[in-house]
Structure 1
Amino acid sequence: MRVLVHPKAAMTLPATFSFDAPGDAARAAELRRVKALATLVLAGTLLLFVTAKLLLPVHPIFGFVAAFAEAATIGGLADWYAVVALFKRPLGLPIPHTAIIQSNQHRIADKLGEFIEVHFLEAAPVEAKLRQIDFATFIAEWLRDRKRSTDLARFVLRLLPEAVTATETSGLMTFITRRITTQLQSIDLAPLAAGTLRAFVKEGRHQGLLDDILRAVHETLTRPETMAMVRAKIRGELPTLLKLYRADKYLVNKIVASATAFFEEVRSDQKHPFRGEFDQMVLSLVDRLGSDPSYADRIDGLKRDFLARPELAELARTIWSNARTFIERSASGESQVLQHHLAKMFMEAGEALASDGALRAEINQGFVAVLRSFIADQKSGVSSFISDQVKAWDMGQLLQLIEINIGKDLQYIRFNGSLIGGLAGLTLYTVELLVRWL
């Protein structure tokens, strides 16, 4: 993509100008005044020339006046012709090389576009100018404003329902789901689990887990229903003679008492030998998780079974449906919760960006790189666009616009032409007389 605006589209744009810019009326009046004054000067020099020629027999001094006035008239006429020839044909006559601007409209348009492309949109000056702009600070200040962040949050909320609908109808949701599932399937959980457990043990958090396990086992053993179940199991294994002496009850009580005493001893002593054995057991499990292929295969199988369960897909659909409903309610204004949190998030992002100079520098560098590349790709399109626009302009109105803005200065060329021409004529006349006298 190298053309910003199609040439045919450019031709349909308005090709007229308005002269209601500040000061245009005043400049037009001043131009008329200066034009009239320049014309009066030209007429004055012509009248002075005729008068001086008539009075030449009266006194030789009028020869100098006539020479000055004659040359001033010629200079004024020549410069009047030059100024008029830029814009139109003098006196409407088809004189060659007049009406220069309108006769060369297409060439001027092409050269103007080329000049802007080559000199204004060159990579080095464009990059230098872009580096002077602090894009990140502007963004930070913009986001820190509460009203702007609220407006941005409201705008984002208006777009979200359409984005959700587009995601569902375009097949993007199915693609995302498949990609997520594929990525989850590719994760090797065994090293991840080993690393997590190793950090867990290093921080000593497994000892708290051991205390919780011992407490839970203690509470389970001391429950009447648990003791009754264990007693029944022991009674079924005892000889008939021992059953008569109710040995099952004695054994259950001894087992529970010994177990609870052991559990309490371990829980109250942080340096109990059993804790060291538990450390070794957990570390051994961590090592096997990280190195034993059979453990990795078991974990991978559990992962696949979990991801394949229909309950997980149903849970994902339920979460998505609830999220869509919540977004729609927020977009309709029924709920302000999401808008409030979005606005707060934007403001916090602005605050964070304003306080992070390194991040702002990275953002600015990114903007420079993107815009520099964009301008480099589009500058030929800019050249064509400018050229097409200039070709489509109404030259009559354009000439009026140019004349209003620079015509006053061009009219002063006529004054200068009369003055310089008159001085040149006076000098030549004086030199001529000196040569004759000599």
Structure 2
Amino acid sequence: MRITATLMLVLMAGLFLLSKQYLEFHPGWGYLHAFAEAAMVGGIADWFAVTALFRHPLGIPIPHTAIIPTNKNRIADTMADFLRSNFLTPAVVARRMHNMNMARAMGEFLEQPTQGSQSRIGAGAAELIAGIFESLDPERLGGQVRTGLKQQMAKLEVSPLAGQMLSTTIADRKHLPLIDALVRWSGLTLEDNEEMVREMISERANGLLRWTGLDERLSSSVLDGLYRLLAEVLIDPDHPLRDKIEQGLQELAQNLIHDPAMRAKVERMKNELIENEAVADWWQGVWERIRGGMIRMARNPDTVLGGQIGESLAELGKALREDALLQTQINRFARRTAVGIATRYGDQIVQLVSETVRRWDAQTITDRIEGAVGRDLQFIRINGTMVGGLVGVTIHFLDSLF
């Protein structure tokens, strides 16, 4: 636009010189001459006015030129005052937000999963989760969590808690499946180690039994007896061995709660366990697997986490769109928040604007303002050239009449 306006000025100068050569041949050349002359004056005047806003015309320090860079501090303060007076007053903010249903608009936006923007929100949330987990130092965070867990475990007395849990389990008869599982496990373990049991019985038998082969019969009898006993315990809910096991569990529960020696023993075992480096390494591995799994789930849109983010956003959008009471509460909260921000921080916000503009050097503020409105200012030059030419033609016409 600057080139166009300048070329128009050059064109008017050419027409001025050309028409001057033919003034005597026809009266029409006088009108063209007057138009070009006045257009040059208007174009040059507007060029001077536009240029004087941003710099000294032709580098000459004419008074009241380079207005913007010379007065940038005053411009910064004026901009800040304008913003404070017209936009950041509580009354203006409240009035502007009174008829805005922000909750409903956000709900309609979030409820449409096919829109690219909503998909970007879900992807952005997933990427944020993944980024948070990736930014965490595995060694440091794992050590911090391990230390915190260790401190909490050290404060916790496990023995009474375990005793109460065991007593409650027995009272609710929830220990019976545990006894059944223990019996089955004993039977399977015995079956898997039959040869070892037979060898142990044979080694402890005397030479006469081994010489007569009775040690084999003795081993088979012992194993058959054990299998029969375990089968009877498993089938008969009133078997005496079950009562013995239950009595032992009840006694263990009472000792865990009331026996100081048992409690001290459990505490000692707990402390040894939490001080064990193997446990620390195990926890580090568990944490790393959890962290890696969360990163993979967040970055894979086909996983449960990726789908849940989108579903959660859609459910939130539906609630915001359909629940009028929720809309009222959220809109009221948003309005009060905005008014509160304008009341408490309005001065700081406009001060930030003022200080930012003040910190810009003269060339920066000139370039930014000229880049924003320079095209329109060049239209002023073009219009000035044309209007000046028309005024020149009008004056020449009136001069010819009178």
Give the TM-score taking structure 1 as reference length.
Answer: 0.48
Q: Which residue matches 1:262?
A: 209
Identify the match of residue 307 of structure 1 among 232, 249, 269.
Answer: 249
Q: Which residue matches 1:128?
A: 123
CA contact (8 A) 2:40 2:388 kept: no
Partners in 2 of 1:411 and 1:100 — Cα distance? 24
Q: Which residue matches 1:63?
A: 38
Quick one: structure 1 residues 405 and 178, their matched pair in 2 at CA, closer, same or farther if it must change by over 3 Å?
Answer: farther
Post-superposition shift, 1:157? 3.9
CA contact (8 A) 1:89 1:99 kept: yes
Post-superposition shift, 1:343? 4.6
The yes-or-no answer on 1:196 pairing with 2:182 is no
Partners in 1 of 2:145 and 2:191 — Cα distance? 46
Deviations 1:371-422 (A, max 9, x none): 9869959x95995796366334432331242356589434654544432222
CA contact (8 A) 2:133 2:294 kept: no
Q: Describe how 1:76-225 pairs up with structure 2 within 5 A.
A: 87-88=80-81, 99-103=85-89, 104-106=92-94, 114=102, 118=106, 122=110, 124-133=119-128, 135=130, 138=133, 142-143=137-138, 145=139, 148-161=141-154, 164=156, 176=165, 178-182=167-171, 185-188=174-177, 191-203=180-192, 205-213=193-201, 215-216=203-204, 218=205
Partners in 1 of 2:180 and 2:168 — Cα distance? 22
Partners in 1 of 2:341 and 2:391 — Cα distance? 52
The yes-or-no answer on 1:396 pairing with 2:391 is no
The yes-or-no answer on 1:423 pairing with 2:382 is yes
Quick one: structure 1 residues 340 and 389, their matched pair in 2 at CA, closer, same or farther if it must change by over 3 Å?
Answer: farther
Gaps of 5+ in 2: 1-32, 54-67, 69-75, 111-117, 321-329, 398-402
CA contact (8 A) 2:87 2:93 kept: yes
Post-superposition shift, 1:128? 1.3
Given residue 196 of structure 1, which amino acid in structure 2 is its aligned partner? Answer: W
CA contact (8 A) 2:180 2:234 kept: yes
Aligned residues: 307
CA contact (8 A) 1:70 1:425 kept: yes
Partners in 2 of 1:198 and 1:325 — Cα distance? 33
The yes-or-no answer on 1:291 pairing with 2:235 is yes
Given residue 262 of structure 1, which amino acid in structure 2 is its aligned partner? Answer: L
Partners in 2 of 1:386 and 1:84 — Cα distance? 26
Post-superposition shift, 1:129? 1.6
Matched position secondary structure for 1:188:
helix
The yes-or-no answer on 1:344 pairing with 2:281 is yes
CA contact (8 A) 1:189 1:300 kept: no
Quick one: structure 1 residues 425 and 182, their matched pair in 2 at CA, closer, same or farther if it must change by over 3 Å?
Answer: farther
Given residue 347 of structure 2, which amino acid in structure 1 is its aligned partner? Answer: G
Partners in 1 of 2:98 and 2:88 — Cα distance? 14
Partners in 1 of 2:273 and 2:218 — Cα distance? 56
Post-superposition shift, 1:300? 3.6
Given residue 418 of structure 1, which amino acid in structure 2 is its aligned partner? Answer: L
Q: Which residue matches 2:73?
A: none
Partners in 2 of 1:425 and 1:410 — Cα distance? 21
Post-superposition shift, 1:340? 5.3
Post-superposition shift, 1:102? 2.6
CA contact (8 A) 1:214 1:263 kept: yes
Post-superposition shift, 1:367? 6.6
Deviations 1:165-201 (A, max 9, x none): 7x99xx9778645545457743335632442244234
Q: Describe how 1:26-41 pairs up with structure 2 within 5 A.
A: none
Given residue 379 of structure 2, which amino acid in structure 1 is its aligned partner? Answer: I
Give aligned-pair identity as a percent: 7
Post-superposition shift, 1:158? 4.2
Post-superposition shift, 1:63? 2.2
Partners in 1 of 2:176 and 2:276 — Cα distance? 36
Quick one: structure 1 residues 325 and 273, their matched pair in 2 at CA, closer, same or farther if it must change by over 3 Å?
Answer: closer
